Amino acid sequence: MATFRFEALKAASNRKPVSVSETGKKSEIFGSNVFNDKAMRQHLTPEAYKAVRSAMDHGTKIDRKMADYIALGMKEWAIGKGVTHYTHWFQPLTGTTAEKHDAFFETSFDGSDPVEKFSGSLLVQQEPDASSFPNGGIRNTFEARGYTAWDPTSPAFIFGTTLCIPTVFVSYTGEALDNKTPLLRALLAIDEAATEVAKFFDKNVKKVTPTLGWEQEYFLIDAALAASRPDILQTGRTLLGHVSAKGQQLEDHYFGSIPTRVLNYMRDLENECMLLGIPVKTRHNEVAPNQFELAPIFEETNLAVDHNSLLMDVMQKVAERHDFKVLFHEKPFKGVNGSGKHNNWSLATDTGVNLLAPGKTPNSNLQFLTFFINTIKAVANYEELLRASIASASNDHRLGANEAPPAIISIFIGQQLTKVLEELEGVSTGKLSPEEKTDLKLNVVGKIPDVLLDNTDRNRTSPFAFTGNKFEFRAVGSTANCATSMTTLNTIVAKQLIDFKKEVETLVEKDGLKKDEAIFNVLREYIKQTKNILFEGDGYSKEWEEEAARRGLSNHKTTPAALKAKVSQKALDLFAEINVMNNTEVEARYEIELEDYIKKVQIEGRVLGDIVRNHIIPTAFKYQNLLIENIKGLKDIFGKDYEELAAEQMMILKKTSMHVNELNSKLHLMMDARKEANAMNSIEETAHAYCDNVKPYFDEIRYHADKLELMVDNELWTLTKYRELLFTR
């Protein structure tokens, strides 16, 4: 008997919903574990408060003396809430967050004068022994020091009994070793570039803030069932398992009533999010069984990125209380939908305007069109780099694989805006007559319908869609740190806006055009140049892949192929020009991501080998022994007639033997391919070898294992089955 599986099933099906205590109004507890504006005003001196505010709003520096005062206030606030430890909280290039807790507690060396201490220098900068974080060769091992530095734009928060201080993580020579540093640089760049362009329309704009509202999809699996699957435990996905008879065909899960056990988990999670100031708002069932989604109110991008990283951590911790395991993997189960993390993105001015929202006047609409068309142009110019920004071993299962959308970046804008762009394109060049100007303003720009928010013809198959007042980058993977895609998107749009401004100014200065005329002229050219990236049809169809190839759009189906664009001369120049990353930083990241890819596929290969050897094949043998016993018995009783009577048994015996043999030989071939891949001369070659020569065996091996699952006695099968993983709740 496959005891572990059945014990897990028993535990899972006997679970009762864990009760969650009511916390009262969300607005009353929101942010109470965050050192936010209110807490700062209560716990800091007016000077210290002003210093932090100015650092947050204008990026000014905080001197050491002031940092001491701030640290003091922060410590008082935290200790008042039962906090004992503090940590610099950062996002190294491991895909998760990192923390090293230190106690506030200090004594003199002889043990006297115990006291709670926290100084400005500890707040501002620390040197974790971080020699084990990926650095892509930036740090020499003998100079393994990197340091973390306080990011005052993302407020400190309390998690458990620890004060967490968001920080950047950089090498001693100043190179970025984390996700936050390049993001902050990209956000600064787009602020500057977009402010300059926004001033064409309103002189009062002083700051433009990129906004991000992510949507996090995930699967919830009973903890005991998850633990019964070595593949889920070690790779976050199922490497084997025959698809269950009922999957998502009936579409009875999407937006369906949320099971009580899950609902209680969500409520508990939302309470934690409220305390941490993560403004979660939406929760619902997703398409696949046991798949769900969570979305917050959008925020400033740096804060939103921190909140998403924090959320993923909190989700797993709260799940433990409810005996669930959260699966963030992009494709945990074959045959049902995978998970993404839609990144909704826009630009907001300090005058309260969403630059990607069509306005009510021709002037505000021209401003909208400017930012709208420049974003399209940026994506058209750098589609390959944008694709690279979302590449990972796990997202490969969601982009360009079987049952997945293609890995082609295109933009959906909807019928109405398509028409507006067509009309704008028809406008004549150069100077405009007064009649032409009036016509343009009133009839083309003026009539952009302000009902776009109810853009009903939304296209769910588009990887990058305009959805009324924001762009939604849908191809981002559910495990991803939003920083990578957001750094790239904000960098390419910053670059585009800088170029746009120059082009407009040249037309004004050299050709004597009026500003509006110049803007129209440049935008019209952009519309002509960017037709290839716009696509309104079914992004999942075979025809689109062919059409995209004719258009010259990239279609990199795998991570090793997609990542290459990151280190193209074009990308290196871009990141350097916009001051987001120097060449060394970009190249280091490329290496780290390739390494990560290799390790992930390598681990999957090993886990698959173990499961086949230790679970599948021994189980097949056990079943064969049952069959043999049965056949022998029939022979004993019926003599010669047994052949006819045992026909089915003998056939199963033969078939199972065939599958076991195939499994064995494929496992050997996979091992040889791994050895070959490991022996390659460069990390690039190794990554390609894992992708092209090792990974294909996964499907071949799975085919035979899944066939055996269908044949072998259910009582003997040790691996928890798909129907059990997906339908226990």
Cβ of residue 467: shortest distance to ligand ADP, in angstroms? Answer: 6
Task: Name the residue with tokens 């909140």.
Answer: 307
Reference 56, options 174, 172, 184, 158; nearest CA is: 184
Site string for ligand ADP, 255-284 (x = CB under 6 A): ---------------------------x--
Told to check if 693 binds ligand ADP by CB under 6 A, we report no
**Contacting residue, 342, 398, 600, 704, with Mg ion by CB under 5 A:** 342
Q: Which two tokens stand for residue 5?
A: 């599986």
Between CA 256 and CA 543 the distance in angstroms is 33
Rounded-to-10 torsion of CA 474, 373, 492, 405: 20
Which region among 211-219, 437-445, 496-504, 719-727 touches Mg ion (by CB under 5 A)? 211-219
Query: Which backbone phi and psi does 443 adopt, to 5 degrees?
Result: -95, -25
Reference 116, options 75, 87, 81; nearest CA is: 75
Told to check if 398 binds Mg ion by CB under 5 A, we report no
Instruction: Provide the 3-class DSSP secondary structure of residue 115.
Output: strand
Residue 664's binding partner, choosing from ligand ADP, Mg ion, none, with beta-carbon cut-off 5 to 8 A by kind?
A: none
Query: Which backbone phi and psi does 85 adopt, to 5 degrees?
Result: -125, 165
What DSSP string runs through 134-201? --TTSS-GGG--EEEEE-TTS--EEETTEEEEEEEEEETTS-B-BSHHHHHHHHHHHHHHHHHHHTTT
Which region among 12-20, 338-346, 370-378, 415-423 touches ligand ADP (by CB under 6 A)? 338-346
Instruction: Provide the 3-class DSSP secondary structure of residue 391.
Output: coil
Site string for ligand ADP, 353-372 (x = CB under 6 A): -x------------------
CA 591 to chain centre: 20
Between CA 233 and CA 619 the distance in angstroms is 21
Number of chain positions touching ligand ADP (CB under 6 A): 15
Which region among 213-221, 260-268, 403-411, 553-561 touches Mg ion (by CB under 5 A)? 213-221
For ligand ADP, the closer CB: 135 or 370: 370
Task: Check: CB of residue 725 under 8 Å from CB of residue 238.
Answer: yes
Site string for ligand ADP, 450-479 (x = CB under 6 A): -------------------xx---------
Residue nearest ligand ADP by beta-carbon distance: 213
CB atoms within 10 A of CB 555: 18
Told to check if 215 binds ligand ADP by CB under 6 A, we report yes
Which region among 192-200, 336-344, 381-389, 673-681 touches Mg ion (by CB under 5 A)? 336-344
Cβ of residue 401: shortest distance to ligand ADP, in angstroms? Answer: 23
Which region among 208-216, 243-251, 440-448, 565-573 touches Mg ion (by CB under 5 A)? 208-216
**Contacting residue, 264, 346, 479, 718, with ligand ADP by CB under 6 A:** 346
CA angle 256, 260, 261 (to 5 degrees): 120
Which region among 147-155, 199-207, 210-218, 433-441 touches ligand ADP (by CB under 6 A)? 210-218
Residue 428's binding partner, choosing from Mg ion, ligand ADP, none, with beta-carbon cut-off 5 to 8 A by kind?
A: none
Rounded to 10 deg, the angle between the 301-321 and 260-275 helix axes is 130
Residue 376's binding partner, choosing from ligand ADP, Mg ion, none, with beta-carbon cut-off 5 to 8 A by kind?
A: none
Task: Name the residue with tokens 């606030």.
Answer: 77
Residues that bind Mg ion in the complex, under the rule CB under 5 A:
215, 342
Residues that bind ligand ADP in the complex, under the rule CB under 6 A:
211-213, 215, 282, 295-298, 344-346, 354, 469-470
